[in-house]
Amino acid sequence: MSQQLFKDFVKGLWKHNPVFRLILGMCPTLAVTNVAINGLAMGLATSFVLIFSGIVISLIKDFIPSKVRIPCYIVVIASFVTIADLFMAAYYPPIHAVLSIYVPLIVVNCIILGRMEAFAGKVPLKRAFADAFGMSLGFTWALILLASVREFLGFGTVFGATILGAWYPQVLMMKLPAGAFITLGLLIGLMNIVSRKKHV
Amino acid sequence: MFKELLVIFFGAAVVNNFVLYRFLGICPFMGVSRKTRSAVGMGLAVTFVMVIAGAITWAIYHFILEKFGLYYLQYVAFILVIASLVQFIELYMRKNVEDLYKAFGIYLPLITTNCAILGLALLNILKGYSFVQSLVFSIGAGAGFTLALVIMSGIRERLELAEIPEPLKGVPIALIIAGLLALAFGAFTGMLK
């Protein structure tokens, strides 16, 4: 049993990493990753929604008629997104202002509905939690990596700490939307090379 | 008045393109952009739903949520409206306008979780648009989405014949192309000043 739980947890980190392997949740991944701190904030907000919706849906799955399960899932998810949104607006207004509409858009993040449909709606609480926790960590580290690369190349800093001094000619493209697309494309390509080597 | 609406339209369609600038609707952008034909179908379906959903969510926000101070219900209400609206349009089209249903009915179920629709509804409120302004914004957003999808599909049809390094095949190369497109669209920045 505990081995099963570990398996559920660990697959989100690499083998089924939502960003690099499943290619899900592209909108927030691309939109908020210009600096590392935004990536971290978005990762944490999504994790909160994913884990708590997973727990609640796993608990109430026996009461939901299967025909209306998707609308039910969406209501649960939207409620937790509202909580996350209000919490951020109250305690971290600057970050909330930067993320703006991408916080409410967690509602339609395909990772969350995908995990609910594929996992939380079918398995007992413990496994749903392990899965949601693993997926959250996988999503968050992917976002932090992408955002750190962009921040490093774009501003010469990581998490606001200066690494390259004032002499560094900041790469404007990395701060623009184009930088998000190209960096993510190259990172997924890199992950493909790494995972292919691992299989051989 | 007219000039202001024109600015909103072009702002939504090219300058702040929904896909290439706001990163909304990336899933269909990657998924349905292999053939130009299906790209046009998807683009039209999204535009259609955007206009209707934009109008209804605007009315709900201003006539119900705002009136009773129920701001915290905004996300739940919007997503429920969009989901049921899409279902309703699908049923209606299947029964009454069969030709249209055959043309882009298969794209409709995919639209419920398309963040471009919810994003549009939220942006309408965030920007404090009037009803007419929000309508123009919806049409512009849909036009921009369709434009990006069609350009992308044209490039991807050619790409089928190109030699691409193995690890970059599929999604990575599509993302890199989208990046180059975003760079090209960046040239529109500053057009509306």
Joined together, the tokens standing for residue A44 give 């944490």
Counting every residue written for chain B, the total comes to 193
- Please judge whether B175 and A79 are an interchain contact, meaning their C-beta atoms are less than 8 angstroms apart: no
Nearest to B167 among A177, A179, A193 (CB): A193
pLDDT computed for residue A199 by the predictor: 58
B171 CB neighbours in chain A (<8 A) are 23, 185, 188
Q: Least CA distance to B171: which residue of chain A?
A: A185
Nearest to A110 among B21, B73, B113 (CB): B113
Joined together, the tokens standing for residue B71 give 């701001």
| pLDDT, mean over chain B | 89
Ranges A44-53, A188-197, B31-40, B107-116, most confident? A44-53
Question: pLDDT tens digit string along B176-190?
Answer: 999 999 999 988 887
pLDDT computed for residue B123 by the predictor: 95
- Please judge whether A108 and B174 are an interchain contact, meaning their C-beta atoms are less than 8 angstroms apart: no
| pLDDT, mean over chain A | 91
Please answer whether residues A78 and B72 qualify as being in contact, where contact means their C-beta atoms are separated by less than 8 angstroms: no
| Nearest-CA distance B110 → chain A (Å) | 11
Query: Once rounded to an integer, what is the mean pLDDT over residues B47-72?
Result: 94
Please answer whether residues B28 and B110 qualify as being in contact, where contact means their C-beta atoms are separated by less than 8 angstroms: yes
Joined together, the tokens standing for residue A187 give 């990172």
pLDDT computed for residue A28 by the predictor: 86
Q: Least CA distance to A193: which residue of chain B?
A: B167
pTM of this prediction? Answer: 0.91
Among B89, B75, B152, CA closest to B119: B75
pLDDT computed for residue A118 by the predictor: 87
Q: What is the DSSP string of B103-134?
A: HHGGGHHHHTT-HHHHHHHHHHHHTT--HHHH
Count of helix runs (H) and strand runs (E) in chain B: 10, 0
Count up the domains in chain A and report the number.
Answer: 1
Among B10, B38, B36, B12, CA closest to B24: B12
Q: Any CB–CB contact under 8 A between A124 and chain B?
A: no
Contact residues of B toward A, CB < 8 A: 20-27, 30, 72-76, 79-80, 83-84, 113-115, 118-119, 122-123, 126, 165-168, 171-176, 178-180, 182-183, 186
Among A189, A160, A176, CA closest to B185: A176
Best of A82, A101, A190, A194 to mutate (most B CBs within 10 Å, chain B): A101
pLDDT computed for residue B10 by the predictor: 92
N- to C-terminal Cα distance for chain B? 16
ipTM of the complex: 0.90
Instruction: Collect the ranges in chain A with pLDDT lower than 50.
Output: none
Place of tokens 């299906």: B38
Among B106, B54, B63, B109, CA closest to B81: B54
A81 CB neighbours in chain B (<8 A) are 75
Q: What is the DSSP string of A88-153?
A: HHHH-HHHHHHHGGGTGGGGG-HHHHHHIIIIITTS-HHHHHHHHHHHHHHHHHHHHHHHHHHHHH
pLDDT computed for residue B125 by the predictor: 95
Q: Any CB–CB contact under 8 A between A27 and chain B?
A: yes
pLDDT computed for residue B36 by the predictor: 87
Provide the residue range defining the domain that includes A17.
2-199
Higher pLDDT, B28 or A184: A184
Please answer whether residues A46 and A132 qualify as being in contact, where contact means their C-beta atoms are separated by less than 8 angstroms: no
A28 CB neighbours in chain B (<8 A) are 23
Please answer whether residues B172 and A185 qualify as being in contact, where contact means their C-beta atoms are separated by less than 8 angstroms: yes
pLDDT computed for residue B193 by the predictor: 62
pLDDT computed for residue A182 by the predictor: 95
B84 CB neighbours in chain A (<8 A) are 71
Joined together, the tokens standing for residue A36 give 């590392």
Q: Any CB–CB contact under 8 A between A125 and chain B?
A: no
